[in-house]
Structure 1
Amino acid sequence: MGDALNVGIIGAGKISTAYATTLVRLPDITVTRVADLDAGRADALAAELPGALAVAPDELLADDKVDVVLNLTVPQAHAAVALAAIASGKHVYGEKPLAASTTEARGVLDAAARAGVVVGCAPDTVLGTGLQTARASLSAGDIGTPVAATAFMVTPGHERWHPSPEFYYQPGGGPLFDMGPYYLTALVTLLGPVRRVTGMSATPRATREIGAGPRAGTVFPVDVATHVSGILEHTGGALTTLMMSFDIWDAQLPRIEVYGSAGSLSVPDPNHFAGPVRLFTATTGERIDVPERAGYRDAARGYGVADLARSLRDGTPPRASGDLAFHVLDVMERILEAAETGTAVEVTSRCTVPAPVPFGARPDRE
């Protein structure tokens, strides 16, 4: 790798524009190639990235002007694309989840270890000031010892706005696999890995209807649970109550709250990089805003790629790591297993909680 990390993007769908907007302004990152099965989409994305060329996926993988493959394909293709990139000697940073199953994900991590390349994975929202400030507050003992947490993500479904939403309702999708990584990555970052889970799930509707775009009115089948509830036991002893749903129109629920022996902490939406952190203690007697005190400021999707570049330069693990993403995927699978079997299920994987992001740090230097 030279002075800049040369990035090749495979997958020019809806999320790619968010990455492109960020990557063009980040130091030490140069997007050199873009590929998609739809050549027109690749051309359109490459036009947003100065100096980038649109090529076929096989050409991108073989190109020595690509150091890392940014894998923005649909979840069912995550593992296959990652393995192809690793076989070509490329580092990989992928959208969440790491793969459609832990079996596939283990294959990706094992292949990377053999090839001597690094795997990173979204979400990188935990690197922003919102979650990092909440983490700093917990580490400072502001609420004493954490004893419990709640995490709620509810929506009536992505088919209302997404023009091609079918993949959200196929294996590797659903509210747990789609949005769960944001919440579970945040919870693991705040409270540590998960060692045991229970769960229940439901699929109230067998079909969904596309509500926007040229295919509006198209009805398609639902092949996954669209409402999932679980209890997570963290290695430190805290218990989290989790609810992920594509079946709720409106609810006045917190995104994430952590409850401790001396107070409570309200955590911002983990789908975003910033947001208010609010603290209640017996001393304050009311909720007060916690000033920003950790995390990358003005971060956006793509900062995980920049943090990967930093890790390669410094010889340290990436914060949005493959091991963290694997543990989150394992937790999600075990919740669904618990829902199917009606039992508590052990989570056998573990991960190292990433290093905190100092306040004012930049991904190109800390």
Structure 2
Amino acid sequence: MGEPHRVGIVGLGYISQAYLRTLARHPRVTIAAVTDLDPARSAAVAAALPSARALPIETFLDSDVETVLNLTVPAAHASVALGAIGHGFHVYGEKPLAASLAAASAIVETAAAAGLTVGCAPDTVLGTGIQTARAFIDGGGIGRPVAASAVMVTPGHERWHPHPDFYYLPGGGPLLDMGPYYLSALVHLLGPIRSVTGAASRTRDARTIGTGPRTGERIPVEVPTHVTGVLEHAGGALSTITTSFDAVHTTAAPLEIHGETGTIAVPDPNKFDGDVRVFELGASEWRSVPVSAGYVGATRGIGLIDQIAAGSPRASGALALHVLDAMTALLRSAEQGRRIALTTTAERPEPVPLLTAEEWSAG
């Protein structure tokens, strides 16, 4: 297997703990350096990782890492990624790839010119939920796919996140925050998107933080908080998507794919696993589909492990760019009241074979 791959982490906020639980114990990876705007966070993480040095942000890019794991807020994704690429590092980042399509394109193009790899969350699509559904669809289990629906509703992240400001600033909102899970899954399942038509609304200009040291503080809302749209896939299928920070709950399945001979209910794409169910033409009830593909027991960071192992990541920058193109086009469509053709495309990533937790966690 060779020496472990040296990873440096930029940004040690809420999501970093999920990544560290996966990466710190994987034999393919060494966390070599960490940095954060809050030096105390860096010191605390480094103290728990004998392999890691806590570095100031100013000197982090002079460290001897191979890949930078970019866990900063969306507004900083592009500057951190481009800085890392400029120093000769591969990059894997949290979603979205950048806060704007132009910045995301610059990341992908600059990395390609330098011969470097870019990966991007979400990696939940590599788990057994989406991958089992994909294997079933690709095997003809629902006939030719003709349509899909994706639904994500929540009353807002300020209810549980102690510092939710960035969710309501440019680069945030329900579509850019949660849409990557659903759109990435739809591309895995149905292929790339050709064009979109969207509508959006914002119900409030401020939100109240509901937990943590800032409980009761009001924060501004500068982005749409309910977005819905229609996606036209290159293969002919039509998907509808709804993402909302304004609704309370729903009985709708997170994802449903409709084919000529059946409908498949896909588990929450924000999770790695879950029950895949199918209702076949002529049947009288749903039945569960046995797990047949994906990383079993996967957790956040499996996308980076996949990138290190394969060299050509399934959770790729090209896919993240295409998903961001679709999301920003939906928002522009909502503003302009017209259908918008996308400027990018992406190949469906290679499917993930069934890999047990013992197989992938052993390196």
TM-score range with shorter-chain normalisation? over 0.9
Please tell me whether residue 336 in structure 1 is matched to residue 336 in structure 2: no
Contact (CA 8 Å) 2:153, 2:249: kept in 1 or not? yes
Deviations 1:73-123 (A, max 9, x none): 000000000011001110000000000011001111111112211100000
Deviations 1:290-324 (A, max 9, x none): 01000011100000110110123xxxx21000000
* Length-normalised TM-score, structure 2: 0.97
SS of 1:47's equivalent in the other structure is: helix
The structural deviation recorded for 1:285 is 2.5
Please tell me whether residue 215 in structure 1 is matched to residue 214 in structure 2: yes
Q: Which residue of the partner structure matches residue 126 of structure 1?
A: 125
Contact (CA 8 Å) 2:27, 2:362: kept in 1 or not? no
Q: Which residue of the partner structure matches residue 244 of structure 2?
A: 245
SS of 1:99's equivalent in the other structure is: coil
The structural deviation recorded for 1:48 is 3.4
The structural deviation recorded for 1:333 is 0.6
Q: Which residue of the partner structure matches residue 320 of structure 1?
A: 315
* Length-normalised TM-score, structure 1: 0.96
Q: Name stretches of at least 5 consecutive residues in structure 2 with no aligned partner.
A: none
Deviations 1:308-351 (A, max 9, x none): 10123xxxx21000000000000001101110111111012101
Contact (CA 8 Å) 1:193, 1:234: kept in 2 or not? yes
Q: Which residue of the partner structure matches residue 347 of structure 1?
A: 342
Please tell me whether residue 75 in structure 1 is matched to residue 70 in structure 2: no
The structural deviation recorded for 1:178 is 0.2
Deviations 1:260-286 (A, max 9, x none): 000000000000000000011025431
Aligned-residue Cα RMSD (Å) equals 1.4
Contact (CA 8 Å) 1:155, 1:249: kept in 2 or not? yes
SS of 2:60's equivalent in the other structure is: helix
Moved more, 74-83 or 27-36: 27-36
Count of aligned residue pairs for this structure pair? 361
Superposed, 1:1-366 pairs within 5 Å as 3-64=3-64, 66-312=65-311, 317-360=312-355, 362-363=359-360
Identity %: 55
Q: d(CA) in 2 for partners of 1:2 and 1:321?
A: 24
Letter in 2 for 1:186: A
Q: d(CA) in 1 for partners of 2:29 and 2:215?
A: 38
Q: d(CA) in 1 for partners of 2:125 and 2:211?
A: 30
Contact (CA 8 Å) 2:148, 2:255: kept in 1 or not? yes
Q: Name stretches of at least 5 consecutive residues in structure 1 with no aligned partner.
A: none
Letter in 1 for 2:327: M
Contact (CA 8 Å) 2:120, 2:317: kept in 1 or not? yes
Q: d(CA) in 2 for partners of 1:253 and 1:264?
A: 14
Q: d(CA) in 2 for partners of 1:363 and 1:194?
A: 31
Contact (CA 8 Å) 1:5, 1:30: kept in 2 or not? yes
Q: d(CA) in 1 for partners of 2:133 and 2:331?
A: 28
Q: d(CA) in 2 for partners of 1:209 and 1:131?
A: 34
